[in-house]
Amino acid sequence: MSFLQDPSFFTMGMWSIGAGALGAAALALLLANTDVFLSTSQKATLEYLEDIDLKTLEKEPRTFKAKELWEKNGAVIMAVRRPGCFLCREEAADLSSLKPKLDELGVPLYAVVKEQIRTEVQDFQPYFKGEIFLDEKKRFYGPQRRKMMFMGFVRLGVWYNFFRARNGGFSGNLEGEGFILGGVFVVGSGKQGILLEHREKEFGDKVNPVSVLEAARKIQPQTSAAESK
């Protein structure tokens, strides 16, 4: 058992443990930056979206079915992860930059939030140029609700998104629930269906505005559809 008295034996043992720990950490970091552990999404059907109950944000709120938003002219709808998040504000501003072109197409721009905390929605409004509604049951964030927890903070893509939004001059706060991931929908009029469905896969995973506009151009307003028959 003389080797137990050899200092080099303990040094090698400690080195091996440290190397193993570093290797495990490196592997965990690598896996965290792949899609292996990301929440899988389930595409929504038109019927699912149509049946969602939304509320207006007035003093006396009105509850209505979501299909009212797109029934006549279609709609672009942002499901906001958290109004106070500077990444969500960045995406809202991107979508709002499309507003003049959407107005030309006659396609409205809307957003839904999952909670109304103090002045969070009001503070979000300068970044978003459309009406905002409350989805208390969080159904626009389904059918299979997805979350990103603290793993998001070790993803390189998330840090890239952080720096991009910060460099763009966006700021925010930590108010409200921010782990349930959001998305963007472009829905055609009537029964035309879902023309684009973007599911946020990580914090700051924005929809491509060009794709939104391309989908919006495919919308056939109910009046036009009726006239063409």
- Which of the residues are catalytic? 85, 88
Contact call for residues 112 and 132 (beta carbons, < 8 A): yes
Beta-sheet pairing, 131-134 with 183-187: unpaired
The two structure tokens encoding residue 116: 């109304």
Distance between CA 208 and CA 167 in Å, rounded?
19
Indicate the SS3 state at residue 106: coil
Place of tokens 């003093």: 59
The CA-based dihedral angle spanning residues 70, 137, 84, 211, taken in that order and rounded to the nearest 10 degrees: -30
Amino acid at 17: I
Q: How do 183-187 and 63-65 pair as beta strands?
A: unpaired
How far is residue 191's CA from residue 209's CA, in Å, rounded to a whole number? 24
Do you find a cis peptide bond into 61, omega within 30 degrees of 0? no
Contact, 188 vs 218, CB < 8 A? yes
Residue 65 main-chain phi, psi, to 5 deg:
-80, 140
CA distances (Å), 123 to each of 60, 133, 134, in order?
A: 20, 14, 15
